[in-house]
A and B are shown apart, each in its own frame.
Chain A
Amino acid sequence: MAERNTFRLMLLILGVVFAFLYIPISVLVGLSFNEGGLPTAWTGFSFKWYGALLENDDILGAAANTVVVAICSTILSTFLGTFLAVGVEIRRRNGKWLETVIFAPMIIPDIVLAIALLSFFSLLGAKMGLHTIIVSHVVFNLAFVCAVVRARLKSFDWSIVEASADLGASTITTLYRVMVPVLTPAIVAGALLAFTLSVDEFIIAFFTAGAGRSSITLPMQIYAMIRFGVTPEINALASIVMTVSVICLALSQRLNKGGLSG
């Protein structure tokens, strides 16, 4: 009897916590399809507000900027992060400072990195824009790519690299014909993670974008819109952004798991 009651209590806890986690975002997505656009009354299902997004040049411009920033920083960080991971795993014995430098971008608070980069760029006299956002995003993105690829390398069978070398392959050939194919799922998983982080990143982009509308990214646009209150357009935009990141990260996780077990 007591056992059953405990089990019921556990189900109740799960119900409450999952309601807390899912009601806010579900309401948001639900309202984005509400024809009248008001939270007070449901007037019918409609894609109207999604259509309105396509006519908003500010949002389209910001979305284009975000795609540019995310793609560029993903490509750069995937290359840098993968080579870094291979490098540190081959060396095995790494100094503590090296591990700290690689790990730091993942835990350093966004606001600190943001102001540090802002001060750095302005002292250099660099003109800020999309390029400064890109190089700044690479800082934390490469750390995440590196972590994902390193995790895969932990279970990597290094003897196949030796075998490849024994059979006469050059280092470059071994890298591209032996290591890259094995690491591909992890590299793609890392790239997807980097892409999502970059699409969603707000604070660092906000500080390193410089003045002017030309380098506004989607999260910056959303932040500016949210400050003026709730509108059906933001509901639609927020729903899209949320769906994109959840899909990308789910894919990334899946690839990563498959890579580890396979």
Chain B
Amino acid sequence: MSPAILWLLALMVVPCVLILVLAFFQRGIYGGIEYTWTLENLALVFDPLYFKIFLKSAGIAGLSAGIACVLGYAAAYAIAAMPRRNQPLLLFFAVLPFWSNYLVRTYAWIVLLNREGLIVNLARWIGYQGELPSMLYTEQAVVIGLVYNYLPFVILSCYAPLSRLNPEITEVSRDLGASAWTTFRRVTLPMTVPGIATGFVFVFVLSIGNFVTPALLGGGQFQMIGNLVYAQFLTANDWPFGAALSMVLIAVMLGLLMAQATVAERAAGMKKDQGNG
């Protein structure tokens, strides 16, 4: 067997299985692990107190993914509408920020949004005298941060189907009397749904488990599921509960990724049918 496979088995598969097992053990009195089977940790995840955090995280992840999809689709559509020879360069510059460090990209928003930041100064400069609402350490700041970090991903996933779109199909629609808007809504959009679905699912999955952005831009004002997991392992020292939380998180993520794979497969099947018909 390849040494790489052994490496992955020892340092990925075994640790992940360990987490699954850990979720069913009891927490010791002094924070250790007691090796008695229990379903308490899993039940605690669905306790309203914690389940609320799950719903909140899903809400923020959904909102971020939604905004990222609208912006990303618009950008991808605009890039695909430019002359062919300019498209690779535009795409390159759309993805370039994605290549820089995640912490740095998040920090850039602290620079913009903090009380002495550029946006506040800009407002003062324009002549706004009143008290400005705090922008950093809010839910909105977290959503902005997530959208900013993952937008290039959506641009890429939406550009792929848009650039493959046969322009003759939209021309036919226009020739048959459909308006530009109707053509977009009834022809272009349905054919590019798989790209949007991929973008949405990935942003959602990356956001719901995120703990860096809520910690930095949310400033501990509220918790997302990633922060809760983090706390169980590094401060509260309740590893079994942390493991149970991550288990549910993984289940949600896997479910979504599989749904997305199904959408992609169905779309591929549809194209084949069109090709045969």
Contact = CB atoms under 8 A, between A and B. Distances in A.
B218 to A, nearest CB: 12
A222 B111 contact: no
Contacts of A143: 8
B187 interface: no
Contact of A20 (B3, B71, B229): B71
B168 interface: no
Given A20-B148, A101-B12, A112-B19, A202 B104 contact: no
A14 B15 contact: no
Contacts of A142: 4, 7-8
Interface string A29-42: 00100000011100
A120 B79 contact: no
Nearest to A250: B99
Nearest to A122: B239
B148 A115 contact: no
A39 B121 contact: yes
A111 B229 contact: yes
B198 to A, nearest CB: 12
Contact of B15 (A2, A20, A80, A120): A120
A55 to B, nearest CB: 21
Contacts of B22: 119
A40 B108 CA distance: 16
Interface in A209-225: 219, 222-223
A87 interface: yes
A222 B7 contact: no
Contacts of B97: 21-22, 25
Nearest to A248: B99
B11 interface: yes
Contacts of A98: 5
- Interface of B: prevailing SS: helix
A203 B106 CA distance: 14
Given A10-B82, A24-B112, A27-B108, A108 B100 contact: no
A6 B8 contact: no
A115 B212 contact: no
- Interface of A: prevailing SS: helix
B75 A230 contact: no
A31 B232 CA distance: 37
Given A105-B12, A112-B246, A120 B100 contact: no
Contacts of A241: 100-101, 104
Nearest to A76: B7
A64 B22 CA distance: 35
The 6 closest A-B pairs by CB, nearest first: A116-B15, A84-B4, A24-B108, A120-B15, A80-B4, A242-B100
Given A20-B148, A229-B110, A242-B101, 7 more contacts: A14-B82, A80-B3, A81-B4, A104-B12, A109-B206, A207-B234, A234-B107
Interface of A: 2, 6-7, 10-11, 13-14, 17-18, 20-25, 27-28, 31, 38-40, 80-81, 83-84, 87, 98, 101-102, 104-105, 107-109, 111-113, 115-120, 123, 135-136, 138-139, 142-143, 146, 196, 200, 202-203, 207, 219, 222-223, 226-227, 229-230, 234-235, 238, 241-242, 245-246, 249-250
